């Protein structure tokens, strides 16, 4: 499929690379420049592979020489196997299919009464290709056919992750609920990626965005967090209302800021995530 450009199909929407094997399986999906796509992620050159919504086994990447339209081209070809899906184990239930990563059965008929079950081995191999000499081109496709239905999305698209994190970093006063409504983003995340309906996923991206300050080091980053103060009553209340992961994040903030306090600034350290 790689040898002739007539066997390629242009990537027009993100479903085509998030769900490889559920569209034209006889063709390789291709883009001449991954950076030019409206759903491109600035800091992740392999976002098309990262965004695959199906569970994958370990990855193997090999260098190959492939003749494309008569020209010998060196390509990095990454392969990984589809690990199948989980389905509702309720009697004759065929309407609920999710990623292998999901643990809780949220089927509207059988939730809280029956567990999820794995469908087992899937014969599909995902194939992701880029040139050894980077030129922006990407190909994605599959070998074989899926033996299961298309699962519901289980992770937020990387472009939306990036937008949430950047908005949280630009305004650390914004809560997860604010971000879920699109504050500072320009759109409502759940309208672009259904997985963003889960507020816990928004909280996670918010923490990652704000947490990026902590890992950069330097005085300028302390200034970026200058309005976060060492105020025990507020800090303790926040930590009691957060889970252990949130508490660890709070401790990192406090370690960085110490007793720093800015006169006249609002106390913005809040438990309202």
* pLDDT tens per residue, range 224-265: 443 443 344 444 444 344 444 444 554 554 555 444 443 333
DSSP state of 151: P
Give tens-digit pLDDT for 38-91: 889 888 899 999 999 998 887 889 999 999 888 999 999 999 999 899 999 888
Residue whose C-alpha is closest to residue 134's, from 75, 51, 80, 77: 75
The values of phi and psi at residue 183, to 5°, are -60, 120
**20: three-class secondary structure by DSSP:** coil
Give the Cα separation of 21 and 83 in Å (integer): 13
As a residue count, the chain comes to 273
Mean pLDDT of 166-174: 91
**Higher pLDDT, residue 149 or 111:** 149
pLDDT score recorded for residue 267 = 33
Give the Cα separation of 217 and 51 in Å (integer): 30
* Residue 73 exposure: Cα atoms within 13 Å on the Cβ side: 19
% of the chain beyond a pLDDT of 70? 77
Whether residue 110 contacts residue 81, with contact meaning beta carbons closer than 8 Å, is answered with: no
Give the Cα separation of 271 and 234 in Å (integer): 8
How distant, in Å, are the alpha carbons of 128, 162, 205 from that of 212?
29, 12, 11
Residue whose C-alpha is closest to residue 206's, from 159, 260, 158, 164: 164
Global confidence as pTM: 0.72
Whether residue 9 contacts residue 27, with contact meaning beta carbons closer than 8 Å, is answered with: yes
**Higher pLDDT, residue 138 or 109:** 138
The values of phi and psi at residue 110, to 5°, are -115, 10
DSSP state of 197: G
The values of phi and psi at residue 30, to 5°, are -140, 145
Mean pLDDT of 11-26: 90
pLDDT at 116 over 50: yes
pLDDT at 149 over 70: yes
pLDDT score recorded for residue 132 = 93
pLDDT score recorded for residue 16 = 93
Residue whose token pair is 């050159």: 45
pLDDT score recorded for residue 251 = 54
Mean pLDDT of 13-29: 90
Give the Cα separation of 69 and 120 in Å (integer): 38
% of the chain beyond a pLDDT of 90? 51
pLDDT at 94 over 60: yes
What tokens appear for 112 in the block? 């809280």
Q: Name the pLDDT band for 126 (thresholds 50, 70, 90).
A: very high
pLDDT score recorded for residue 161 = 94
pLDDT score recorded for residue 25 = 81
Mean predicted lDDT score pLDDT of the chain: 80
pLDDT score recorded for residue 273 = 40
What tokens appear for 7 in the block? 């066997």
pLDDT score recorded for residue 236 = 44
How distant, in Å, are the alpha carbons of 22, 252, 255 from that of 25?
7, 47, 52
Q: What share of the chain is helix, strand, coil (3-state, %, to 5)?
A: 30, 20, 50
């Amino acid at each position: 499929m790689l040898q002739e450009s007539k066997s390629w199909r242009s990537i027009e929407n993100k479903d085509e690379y998030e769900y490889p094997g559920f569209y034209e399986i006889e063709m390789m999906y291709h883009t001449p420049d991954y950076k030019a796509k409206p759903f491109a992620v600035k800091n992740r050159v392999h976002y098309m592979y990262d965004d695959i919504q199906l569970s994958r086994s370990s990855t193997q990447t090999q260098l190959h020489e492939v003749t494309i339209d008569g020209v010998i081209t060196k390509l990095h070809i990454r392969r990984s196997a589809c690990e199948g899906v989980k389905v509702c184990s309720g009697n004759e239930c065929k309407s609920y299919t999710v990623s292998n990563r999901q643990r809780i059965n949220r089927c509207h008929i059988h939730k809280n009464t029956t567990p999820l079950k794995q469908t087992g081995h899937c014969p599909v191999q995902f194939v992701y290709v880029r040139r050894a000499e980077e030129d922006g081109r990407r190909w994605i496709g599959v070998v074989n056919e899926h033996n299961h239905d298309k699962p519901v999305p289980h992770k937020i698209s990387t472009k939306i992750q990036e937008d949430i994190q950047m908005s949280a970093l630009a305004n650390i006063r914004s809560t997860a609920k604010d971000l879920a409504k699109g504050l500072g983003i320009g759109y409502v995340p759940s309208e672009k990626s259904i997985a963003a309906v889960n507020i816990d996923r928004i909280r996670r991206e918010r923490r990652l965005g704000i947490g990026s300050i902590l890992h950069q080091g330097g005085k300028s980053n302390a200034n970026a967090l200058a309005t976060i103060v060492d105020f025990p009553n507020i800090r303790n209340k926040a930590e009691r209302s957060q889970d252990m992961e949130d508490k660890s994040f709070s401790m990192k903030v406090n370690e960085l800021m110490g007793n720093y306090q800015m006169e006249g600034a609002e106390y913005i350290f809040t438990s309202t995530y």
